[in-house]
Amino acid sequence: MLKGIHPAISPELLKTLAEMGHGDELVLSDAHFPAHQLHHKVIRADGVDISTLLLGITPLFEFDQYVEAPLAMMQAVEGDSLDPSVEARYLEAIKKINGTAPKVERVERFAFYERAKKTYAVVITGETAKYGNVIIKKGVTPVE
């Protein structure tokens, strides 16, 4: 156990966050996401919802400040609808740590899957919200 590390952050996830470089992306997927079909590096965070994981990741992770939207979420499929509380929960978790939250880009479902294939890794969570997947883009950690 380490001090200052949220208990939702597993050793494997902590290592992955440390390995990632500027511009690398990480998928925080809902429990229904086809992670193993799309990516070779999959980390399990069963039983942990994405807002809880964001509470643990945000103090350790600089969101990319050189892109307009360092967060990407899936658009609803035609004829379907989004639950706005899902995005609100994620942004609230980030705001709780950072005071503000970055912009969110909405990406068509199959384009999201293609983008997920190119990410550094996929974290499968216990999130059950429909369209609950989010891609986070890592930025440069400021020198203090």
Q: Kindly list the structural domains of the chain, giving each domain's residue range(s) and its CATH number in brackets, ordered by start.
A: 32-37+46-138 (3.40.1650.10)
30 marked as binding residue: yes
40 is catalytic: no
120 marked as binding residue: no
Distance set, CA 127 to CA 2, 12, 120 (Å):
25, 19, 20
- How far apart are the C-alpha atoms of 85 and 129, rounded to whole Å? 10
* Global pTM value: 0.96
pLDDT digits (tens, 9 = 90+) for 65-96: 999 999 999 999 999 999 999 999 999 999 99
Q: Which of 22, 32, 36, 39 is catalytic?
A: 22
83 marked as binding residue: no
